[in-house]
Chains A and B, each alone.
Chain A
Amino acid sequence: VRNNPITAALVLAAWGVFALAVAWPTIALFGATITDRAPPSDGFVFSSRQMGLIWRSVWMSCAATLVCLVVSLPGVYVVGQVRSLSRRPLIAGLLVASLLCPPMVYALGWERVLPTSVSPHVRCIGTWAFWAWPIPAFLIGTGWARAGRSAYEAALLVLSPASAFLRVALFTLIPYIALSALVLFVLLSGDYGVPHSCGLLVFATELLVWAASSTRAIDTLWPAALVVLVDGFALTAMFIVWRLCPVGDDDNQPAETTHSPSLNLAFIAVACFAASWLLPVGTLVAKLGSSEAFAEAFRTYNRDLVWTLGVASVAGVVAVAMGLGVAALPFGICFPGGRRLRVVALIWAVIFGAMPGALVGKALVAAYNHDALWFIYDHWPIVALSYVSRFGWIGIATGIVVTELSQSDLTEQAETDGATHLDILRRIHLPLKWPTLACGAGIVAVLSIADVATSALVRVPGPAPIAHILIEKFHRFEDGMLISLSLWLIAAALVVVGIFVFALGRSAARARR
């Protein structure tokens, strides 16, 4: 494969971002720990309180993951039936719309929907599940478009579409279900906003307390080891499932099913969307009362809103660009052993991203709180970098999905014909896979907007992240402002989704022509 200086420059830029966001903070964190030369405040033991909180986090995340997987099943069916979301912009838009609102906003909506007698644990689990269900719907549904189709088609001879899906197809999709469960578990167990909004203490909320209450890195690093341990167990469990139930490829799967799709499941999928999005959001709108509060919120907090959306968008774009650069433009272009380095980068980013947000924030402070690095530490780039640190693994995973798991025929042809890596990236991956890349950037952006734990430690002088303002409003019982700001976030998400659906629709129309 030929290369050129531009390719090399892009490679170095992508790896440079990786170094700034992941590698250097990790080194700085461990460096600070070693420099402190002191044990944790409570010694090298896990207190019963820490064990209790990690247990609460684990069981709540497991319960939410389970509920989320069940709730997502109709969505899986719909996505699997559609097979290519780029052909169905409306469905893609509905999935993205649910996901593109910070989960804390849903928590505030559900708080107003449900009676006060409902347990905060139930509310937290429900909020998580009804926010995150598009993730497994997309992952498992996309998997179903690749595997398990033949068994499903055969089952259709004797079963209804819904029964064939639930009783046959699902069992062929166990690896994808396991992958979805892992992603959900890691995301939910590290979430701060929803448990806090439900008035619950979990490990992630408490870890931020420990991080904020001590200047020493070890006081955060040591308890965070529990999270790494738990995530390690989850990862191991997923690999065991993958070994026991390998993914089956359908080489001869039929292009289109000859049976009518299940209207019941499609109806339930629409109901899921309505319940998960319209109900809490509609309640917020109904409770707002007057539009004056809505306008007042914008007048007061427009800078914070724009700043938050801007920094989160930059983080999303940078994370995906970094991932694409790392995945599509192997380091081996410039240096030998690049492909192995890429695997190391992914694993590094995943482990770093799976660490609790408070620890990531601590690492960023350790890395950039130096006189020479004031231009990062004092300004918004450190906030954007912290988001890339925490969610960069999504960007790298997106890059790998785009470049490795698809289009192998086409890229191989191009490589054979002498296309450079940059050509392949510019003329194949970007034009063909922009919806996936946009979704990856969008997910990183929305997780960044919802982030509290990391940004609490890397706040910069100037506008405040909107998630912190929402929490402040929540604590100050300022419901009007709270709802208004939430609705502004939803409005911003709707604009993005609208543009996405419009662009996807145009692409699909062109494809049909």
Chain B
Amino acid sequence: MISVSAVPALYTDSPVLSIRGRSIMASPEHSPVPHGKSGHFTAAGGLARQMAATGDARYAEGQAALATAGRRAGLVVSLVMISCLGCKRDNQQAQSPIGKVTVYCSVDEVFARGVLDTFHSETEIELATVFDSEAGKTTGLVNRIVSEAQAGRPRADVFWSSELFNTILLARQGLLEPYDSPAAADIPARFRDPQHRWTALAARARVLAFDPKSIPPDQVPMRWEDIAAPEWARQTAIANPLFGTTRGHVAAMFAMWGPQRARKFLTELRDGGVSIVDGNSTAVRAVMSGQVKLAMTDSDDVWVAQRSGASIDMRYPEMGGGGTFLIPCSVAIVRGGPNGEVAHKLVDYLVSADVERLLAESNSRNVPVREALREELNMPWPAESKVDFAAVADAMPQAIEAAREILLR
């Protein structure tokens, strides 16, 4: 006889038992011939015979309950699947037969989404976008483009980057398609690749963020090299120099200052106890929370923090050559992308003055490279150290190696 205590507690509470109405297992008159505590049926076909004999239809009812549960579960799974597929279907319905473009975008999603949505609504071209994660700013997408090209099937049509130097490196690897966009005709030559493989626009400045309540503005370092002094280095946060604009900034130091001076700067930062955090905005947060007093960051990170009501301000430190370092966004067509023709239309849009205006008027406040637009929007071009972009890209491998060796080991 199977006793109740021999059956696990969850069994006796089971919903199936309740569907059956009464418990066969616990009731002697319905129990098959038992074999000790283990509960083996010793009578031939005990369970099957029990079903027929008792009419309780243990399995049958269990199956009925399961069928109901199965239908419900099936319904839920179907709904989930439909909702997943529905996303796809929505896209397809929203698009016109004009086509589809796959965009790899490392411009911050909050700013880029509006721009891309506007393009979609104006052209009805479907956009499939991959935004970069905060952890892998730009570098993640660049490596993705490289590995997809190595695999023989590029997935991206357009690369819209928040910086320029990795785009130049992609161009040098032969992964970008030349395209001379007519919409970029009014962009100064310095911001266009002579071989038309990329176009740069909508710049951000590298700045020092500080809390004016914590440091009087007149005490904030005036030159980038000043923050390597021990009293500042331990009060400074920088983003991981392997990524994003910080990577380009360190490379620019190598390009402008030469390797010896740049390595000395990094070494002094390390020895002084600089804090390495995982993003520019994290560096700004560190200033806001009082963990550090200075943050090497981008101007847009300070603008959005100011807009949120934080007590934060910025300085454009002198990098050499007359001002701070400016980093433009870049747009390029990926060689061998699946939708080359339609991609041209998106590039025409992304390099247009309209998009520069949208980014300038956003919380990011990117500075247009078009002088006429700057005048129209009354946005002065910050004092800039006119570094050669190609030279910065040249210095990047060396800068990465040095940053890895000095700061990240």
Contact = CB atoms under 8 A, between A and B. Distances in A.
A371 to B, nearest CB: 4
Contact of A459 (B63, B131, B134): B131
A276 interface: no
B69 A432 contact: no
A416 B308 CA distance: 69
B48 A417 contact: yes
A223 B290 CA distance: 32
Interface residues of B, number: 93
Contacts of B42: 416
Given A456-B133, A459-B131, A479-B308, A507 B87 contact: no
A410 interface: yes
Contacts of A511: 13-15, 17-18
Given A86-B15, A371-B152, A468-B131, A477 B277 contact: no
Nearest to A312: B80
Nearest to A85: B10
Nearest to A478: B110
Contacts of A417: 41, 45-48
A201 B277 contact: yes
A306 B128 contact: no
A378 B10 CA distance: 44
Nearest to A371: B153
B288 to A, nearest CB: 8
A508 interface: yes
Contacts of A209: 135-136, 240, 242-243, 278
A243 interface: no
A41 B143 CA distance: 15
A407 interface: yes
Nearest to A429: B66
Contacts of B47: 413-414, 416-417, 419
Interface in B145-160: 146-148, 150-153, 155
Contacts of B5: 252, 255
B77 interface: yes
A212 B102 contact: no
B51 to A, nearest CB: 10
A215 B140 CA distance: 9
B15 A507 contact: yes
A261 interface: no
A469 B91 contact: no
**Most chain B CB atoms below 10 A, which of A83, A208, A473, A509:** A208
Counting chain A CB atoms within 10 Å of each CB, the highest count among B38, B102, B133, B310 belongs to B133
B308 A49 contact: no
Interface string B51-78: 0000000010011011001100000010
A513 B18 contact: yes
Q: Which of A428, A459, A464, A469 has most B Cβ within 10 Å?
A: A459
Given A409-B2, A468-B131, A427 B45 contact: no
A199 B277 contact: yes
Given A116-B290, A409-B7, A511-B14, A380 B84 contact: yes
Interface in A434-461: 434, 452-453, 456-457, 459-461
Interface centre among B87, B150, B243, B281 (most CB of A within 10 A): B87
B8 A205 contact: no
Given A431-B62, A434-B69, A472-B110, A406 B10 contact: yes
A215 B143 contact: yes
B91 A462 contact: yes
Contact of B308 (A205, A414, A464, A477): A477
Interface string A305-326: 0110111011001000000000
B130 interface: yes
B39 A413 contact: yes
A369 B130 contact: no
Interface in A339-383: 365, 369-371, 374, 377-378, 380
A469 B14 contact: no
Given A215-B147, A409-B38, A468-B131, A475 B83 contact: no
A464 B109 contact: yes
B6 interface: yes
Interface in B368-409: 404, 408-409
A468 B140 CA distance: 14
Interface string A391-424: 0000000000000001111101110111100010
A510 interface: yes
29 contacts: A86-B10, A196-B135, A199-B282, A199-B286, A209-B136, A209-B243, A212-B136, A212-B140, A213-B243, A307-B87, A310-B80, A314-B80, A371-B152, A374-B153, A378-B155, A406-B10, A409-B39, A413-B47, A417-B46, A417-B48, A418-B48, A431-B16, A431-B66, A431-B69, A432-B11, A461-B129, A475-B279, A478-B304, A507-B15
Given A409-B38, A417-B46, 6 more contacts: A84-B13, A116-B290, A214-B143, A461-B155, A477-B307, A507-B15
Interface of B: 2, 4-19, 21, 25, 32, 38-42, 45-48, 59, 62-63, 65-66, 69-70, 77, 80-81, 83-84, 86-88, 90-91, 102-103, 108-110, 113, 128-131, 133-136, 139-140, 143, 146-148, 150-153, 155, 240, 242-243, 276-279, 281-282, 285-286, 289-290, 304-305, 307-308, 310, 363, 404, 408-409
